[in-house]
Chains A and B, each alone.
Chain A
Amino acid sequence: MTKKQKKVLIRIIIAFLLLVVLHFVPVKGWLSLVLYLVPYFVIGYDILKKAFKGILNRQVFDENFLMAVATVGAIILGEYTEGVAVMLFYQIGELFQSYAVGKSRRNISELMDIRPDYANIEKDGKLEKVDPDEVEVGSIIVVKPGEKIPIDGIVEYGTTTLNTAALTGESLPRDAKEGDEVISGCINMTGLIKIKTTKEFGDSTVSKILDLVENSSSKKSRSENFITKFARYYTPAVCYGALALAVLPPIVSLIIGFDPAWNQWIYRALTFLVISCPCALVISIPLSFFAGIGGASKEGVLVKGSNYLEALSEAKYIVFDKTGTLTKGVFEVAGIHDAVIPEDKLLEYAAYAESFSSHPISRSLCKAYGKEIDQTRVSDVNEISGEGVTAVVDGTSVAAGNIKLMKRLGIECKECGNVGTVVHVAVNGSYAGHILISDQLKQHTKQALEELKKLGMKKLVMLTGDAKRVAESVAKEVGVTDVYSELLPADKVSKVEELLEKKPAKEKLVFVGDGINDAPVLSRADIGIAMGALGSDAAIEAADIVLMDDDPLKISKAIHISKKCIRIVYENIYFAIGIKIICLVLGALGIANMWAAIFADVGVMVIAVLNAIRALNAGK
C-alpha cells in the first residue's frame, strides 16, 4: 500500500469505530448531529474539499460533488448514520479500487520484467557496469550466468544456454555458441559469454517489445469508447432524474391535494445520487483489457491495442501464409523409401556424395545424417548441375540425384508418390532407394488448425507461392478449408482484399504470416498476426499482434484469450449497468434505501474489478 492509501485506511477505521460507538450512545438532537459530524469530516473532508473546488471550476457532475450532495442531504434529513456510512463506503470502494489497480499494474509490469538494468563492459581487465543506453554499436559486452542479455548482438566468445521464457513464453532453453546471434531480454543460464553488439539499446529487441507493450492500450477498443460515452451521459441523466424525483412527485401530490411528503422524495432522490457514479464501469472495462493484454504477453502474444484484442475475438476467417507459418520454411528429409540397403547406410552414402555441395538439398542431407563428415572418405566427386552428384565413397561408387541423373546413368528408378524433392541414390550402379526432402510442417500445425476450427472459425485459408500440387497436398494434410497457390506477393494482397469484400463486416479476417515479405498483407487484413517475430523489426512494425515464437498453437491461444477477455468485459458491462438500473428503479419506488444504494455502488465495483483481474489468467 502506498502512503496515501494507508492514510485513507486509517481514516476508514477511525470513522468506522466512531460510527459504531455513536450507534450505542443515547444522545438526541443537536448534540447527536455534532457528534456524527466528527466521523463525517474524518472520512469525507477531502471529498468535500474536492467538491467545493469542483464547483469553483464548474465541474458539477463530478462524483465528489454528487457524494457531497447525497451525504449532506442525508444529514439534513436527519439520517446521520446513513450520511456518514455512504461516505465511508464510498471511500472503502475508492481505496479498494486504487489498491486493486495498483496491484495489477505491478503484476503486469513484473510479467514484462525484461528491462535490463545494466551492461557489463570490460575495461582494463575489470568489469564495469554501465547504462545499456551508453553502449555503442560494436562494443563487446560481457554477460555472466544469471544475467539478462541487455543488447542484441553476436556471441564472440563462450557457449551457453539461454532462457527465452520472458520473451516467448517458451520454457525450452536455447543453446548459443560463438557466431550465433542473440537477442536482448534472454537470460543467460549457464556460461559466461562475450557479445559484440549489433544494435543500440533503443533499437534492441527488448526496447522494441517494452515500447510496444507500454503503449499498447493507447488504441482504445469499442467497448472502452462506449463506456467513456456512457459515463458522460449516465451521470448527468441520473442527476436530472434525482432532481425530478425530488421535485415532481411532491408537486403533483400538492396539486391533487395529497401530502407532498417532501422528505421521503428528497431521500429517494439522494439515493439516486449515490448510484450515479459510473465508477464500476469506468474502471473495470479498461482494467479487463489491460489484464487481458498483460495475460497475453505472459504467453508470448503481444497485442498492440485493446481494439485488436476486441477484433480478434470476432475473428471468423484466418488466412495463413504457408511457408514459415504452417511449415518450417526449411527443407528436411521427410522419408527414405524403397531402400534396398539399410536406410541409415543409404542416407550416409547420399550425405557423403553430396558433402562437397552447398546446395540446400545437400545441406539438408548432411543435417539428417547428423554425424561429422570425414571428407577424406570421398573422392572423384562430379557434380552435374541440375541433376545431382556422382562420387566414390569408401571405394564404392555412389550416384545421388534426380530422375534425369538416373536416366543418364541408365538406372531404373521408382517414382515417389509423395510431394517434395526426391533424391534417388544408386550404389555400385544399381538402384538403392530414394530420399524424400520436403518443407516440414511445424510440429503443432495440425493441432493448431483443429483448435481454430473448434473456436468456430468459418474458413481457414492458405496462400502460397508454391506449385499447386505441393500446396494442395499440404492443405489436405493440415486441414485448411481453402487454398490458393502459385501466388506472387502482390496476388496475396488482392486475394486478401477479395476475401475481405466477401465477408460480413462483423466477422473479422486475420492474416498470419512470418513477417517476411508479407508486411502489406499484414496491414491490409483486419488483424495482422506476425509470428516468430523475435528479432524481426519489420514484422513488429507491420503487425497488430505479434507472436514471439513461431508456434502456430499461439494463434488459437491468442483468440482464446481475446474471447475470454471480451466475455469478462461484457459480463462487467451487463452486470454493472443491470444492477445500477435495478437499484435506480427500486430506489425511485422507495424499496431500496441509501444502504442498498451504496452497496450497489461499491459492491458492484468490487465485483467488477475482481472479475476484470481474471483476464490476467486468460491464457491458462
Chain B
Amino acid sequence: MKKTYKIEVDCANCANKMEEAAKKTAGVKDAVVNFMTLKMNVEFEDGADVKAVMQDVLKNCKKVEDDCEIYI
C-alpha cells in the first residue's frame, strides 16, 4: 500500500536524511521524500499497521532532523 504525507522540512539535505530514516523503519518497503513538493510517499510492507509504522517513521525522522514534521 502506498500513501502520501505532507511534510515540513527546511533543507534539501535534511529531506534526504528523512528519506533514509523512513526507508530504514520497519514496516516500510520504500519511501521517497520530495523536498520540492514537500511530500513523502511511503510504500508499506504488506500487512503493516500504517498508523504505528508512521509513528516510528516520524520518530526516526526526528532523530536525524530535529526540525522536521510529518502530517500524519
Distance (whole angstroms) from the CB of A100 to the closest CB of chain B: 11
Given contacts A50-B67, A94-B11, contact A287 B16 (CB under 8 A): no
Whether B13 sits at the interface, judged by CB under 8 Å, is yes
Pair A101/B36 contact, Cβ less than 8 Å: yes
Q: Which of B32, B36, B41 is close to A105, meaning CB atoms less than 8 Å apart? A: B36
Whether B12 sits at the interface, judged by CB under 8 Å, is yes
Given contacts A59-B63, A59-B64, A228-B16, contact A217 B34 (CB under 8 A): yes
Pair A231/B11 contact, Cβ less than 8 Å: no
Whether B69 sits at the interface, judged by CB under 8 Å, is no
Query: Interface 1/0s, chain A 214-248, versus B by CB < 8 A?
Result: 11011010000000100100000000000000000
**A228 vs B32: C-alpha distance in the bound complex, in angstroms?**
12
Task: For A211, give the chain B residue with the smallest CB separation.
Answer: B4
Given contacts A97-B11, A278-B13, A282-B16, contact A214 B64 (CB under 8 A): no
Task: Tell me what chain B mostly uses at the interface: helix, strand, loop, or mixed.
Answer: mixed
**A290 vs B12: C-alpha distance in the bound complex, in angstroms?**
13
Pair B12/A279 contact, Cβ less than 8 Å: yes
Pair B41/A218 contact, Cβ less than 8 Å: yes
Could you say which interface size class chain B belongs to? 10 to 19
Distance (whole angstroms) from the CB of A329 to the closest CB of chain B: 36
| Chain B positions within 8 Å of A279 at CB level | 11-13
Given contacts A217-B36, A217-B37, A218-B34, contact A231 B13 (CB under 8 A): yes
| Chain A positions within 8 Å of B4 at CB level | 215
| Chain A positions within 8 Å of B13 at CB level | 63, 231, 277-279, 282-283
Distance (whole angstroms) from the CB of B38 to the closest CB of chain A: 8
Whether B29 sits at the interface, judged by CB under 8 Å, is no
| Chain A positions within 8 Å of B17 at CB level | 59, 62
Pair B37/A214 contact, Cβ less than 8 Å: yes
Whether A401 sits at the interface, judged by CB under 8 Å, is no
Query: Interface 1/0s, chain A 367-409, versus B by CB < 8 A?
Result: 0000000000000000000000000000000000000000000
**A290 vs B37: C-alpha distance in the bound complex, in angstroms?**
9
Q: Which of A50, A101, A104 is close to B66, meaning CB atoms less than 8 Å apart? A: A50
Q: Which of A59, A97, A286 is close to B36, meaning CB atoms less than 8 Å apart? A: A286
Whether A57 sits at the interface, judged by CB under 8 Å, is yes
Query: Interface 1/0s, chain B 50-67, versus A by CB < 8 A?
Result: 000000000000011011
Distance (whole angstroms) from the CB of A220 to the closest CB of chain B: 7
Whether A458 sits at the interface, judged by CB under 8 Å, is no
Could you say which interface size class chain A belongs to? 20 to 34
Residue from B4, B11, B13 with most neighbouring chain A CB atoms (10 Å): B13
**A44 vs B17: C-alpha distance in the bound complex, in angstroms?**
22
B25-51 with Cβ < 8 A to chain A: 32, 34-39, 41
| Chain B positions within 8 Å of A54 at CB level | 66
Residue from A54, A94, A282 with most neighbouring chain B CB atoms (10 Å): A282
**A220 vs B37: C-alpha distance in the bound complex, in angstroms?**
13
**A101 vs B10: C-alpha distance in the bound complex, in angstroms?**
10
Task: For A5, give the chain B residue with the smallest CB separation.
Answer: B10
A35-80 with Cβ < 8 A to chain B: 50, 53-54, 57, 59, 62-63
Task: For B33, give the chain A residue with the smallest CB separation.
Answer: A218
Whether A428 sits at the interface, judged by CB under 8 Å, is no
Whether A98 sits at the interface, judged by CB under 8 Å, is yes
| Chain B positions within 8 Å of A282 at CB level | 11-13, 16
Pair B32/A218 contact, Cβ less than 8 Å: yes
**A220 vs B4: C-alpha distance in the bound complex, in angstroms?**
16
**A557 vs B48: C-alpha distance in the bound complex, in angstroms?**
44
**A50 vs B68: C-alpha distance in the bound complex, in angstroms?**
12
**A97 vs B14: C-alpha distance in the bound complex, in angstroms?**
13
Task: For B34, give the chain A residue with the smallest CB separation.
Answer: A217
**A214 vs B16: C-alpha distance in the bound complex, in angstroms?**
19
Distance (whole angstroms) from the CB of A473 to the closest CB of chain B: 47
Pair B66/A231 contact, Cβ less than 8 Å: no
Task: For A284, give the chain B residue with the smallest CB separation.
Answer: B12
| Chain B positions within 8 Å of A98 at CB level | 10-11
Pair B35/A53 contact, Cβ less than 8 Å: no
| Chain A positions within 8 Å of B36 at CB level | 101, 104-105, 217, 286-287, 289-290
**A54 vs B17: C-alpha distance in the bound complex, in angstroms?**
12
**A228 vs B23: C-alpha distance in the bound complex, in angstroms?**
14
Distance (whole angstroms) from the CB of B9 to the closest CB of chain A: 10
Distance (whole angstroms) from the CB of A504 to the closest CB of chain B: 30
Given contacts A220-B32, A290-B36, contact A57 B12 (CB under 8 A): no
Q: Which of B39, B63, B67 is close to A57, meaning CB atoms less than 8 Å apart? A: B63
**A336 vs B11: C-alpha distance in the bound complex, in angstroms?**
66
Distance (whole angstroms) from the CB of A274 to the closest CB of chain B: 16
Task: For B13, give the chain A residue with the smallest CB separation.
Answer: A282
Pair B39/A286 contact, Cβ less than 8 Å: no
Distance (whole angstroms) from the CB of B69 to the closest CB of chain A: 13
Beyond A94-B11, A217-B34, A217-B36, 4 extra complex contacts between A and B, CB < 8 Å: A57-B66, A63-B11, A101-B12, A282-B11
Cβ contacts A to B, 21 pairs, < 8 Å: A59-B63, A59-B64, A63-B11, A94-B11, A97-B11, A101-B35, A101-B36, A105-B36, A105-B37, A215-B41, A220-B32, A228-B16, A231-B13, A278-B13, A279-B11, A283-B12, A286-B35, A286-B36, A287-B12, A287-B36, A290-B37
By a beta-carbon cutoff of 8 Å, the part of chain B in contact with chain A is 4, 10-13, 16-17, 32, 34-39, 41, 63-64, 66-67
Nearest first, the 4 closest Cβ-Cβ pairs linking A and B are: A290-B36, A283-B12, A282-B12, A282-B13
